[in-house]
Amino acid sequence: MEENQMNEFSDMEFDVLKEISNIGTGNAATAISQMLDSRVDIEVPIIKVMKFDEMSEVVGGAEKEVIGILVTLEGDIDGMMMFMTDKYSAAVVINRIMGMEFSELTGALSEMQVSMLTEFGNIIAGSYLSAIAKLTGLGIVPSVPDLSDDMAGAILSVPAIEFGKVSDRVLLIQSVFDTDNKRAEGFFILIPTRKAYKKIFEKLGLIS
């Protein structure tokens, strides 16, 4: 990948991104199992490089209400990362943590629900950051997570405005996990800067 180009990856570079995603998903399964105190099975993730303006359709449309948990990255790698999930999947997580029978989320999230979902998103983000750090030796410092409960289009506009000037594409990792016969879905969006991608591939010997 040339330094001034993020929109295209070689087959080898994309394979590296898939490997990072697979390791991160495995890390997340272990961490979520511990958090929920329950066995969690995660399907093989679907990994895509997508345009910002295609993202909302993947999660169900620009007007679909979702939970978005955003962190900014500093250190050897800068950029943003976001975990998004729909309200049903968020309800699966909250009810499992609280040991309650399943019930839908209605109305505004309570302070406790915000706290639980923020920690859940933080664990997933940390799982993928750990995968990148382990493979590359790069130091990555995430910010305190910021949770939003809004329509997908509004939530995605934040990273789109910030990083649209760098590239119109992001790395999307779509994961589905099952716990106690309940199926939940999440979307992990990695938005490193051009410089960050270059550092990752340099550390792995793909470019010099």
* pLDDT of 1: 47
- In order of their start, the domains of the chain are 11-203 (3.40.1550.10)
Q: What pLDDT is attached to residue 189?
A: 86
Residue with the two structure tokens 């490089």: 49
What is the tens place of the pLDDT at every residue in 157-172? 887 777 666 666 788 8
Predicted local confidence at residue 114, as pLDDT: 92
pLDDT score of 167? 63
Quick one: pLDDT at residue 3?
Answer: 42
Query: How would DSSP label each residue in 88-125?
Result: HHHHHHHHHHHT-------SSPPHHHHHHHHHHHHHHH
- Position 149 scores a pLDDT of 92
Do residues 154 and 67 make contact, with C-beta atoms less than 8 angstroms apart?
no
Which residue, 152, 147, 78, is CA-closest to 119?
A: 147
Strands (E) in the chain, as ranges, are 41-42, 46-51, 65-75, 79-86, 140-142, 146-151, 169-179, 182-192
What stretches in the chain show pLDDT beneath 50?
1-6
To the nearest whole percent, how much of the chain has pLDDT over 70? 92
Euclidean distance between CA atoms 79 and 65, whole angstroms: 25
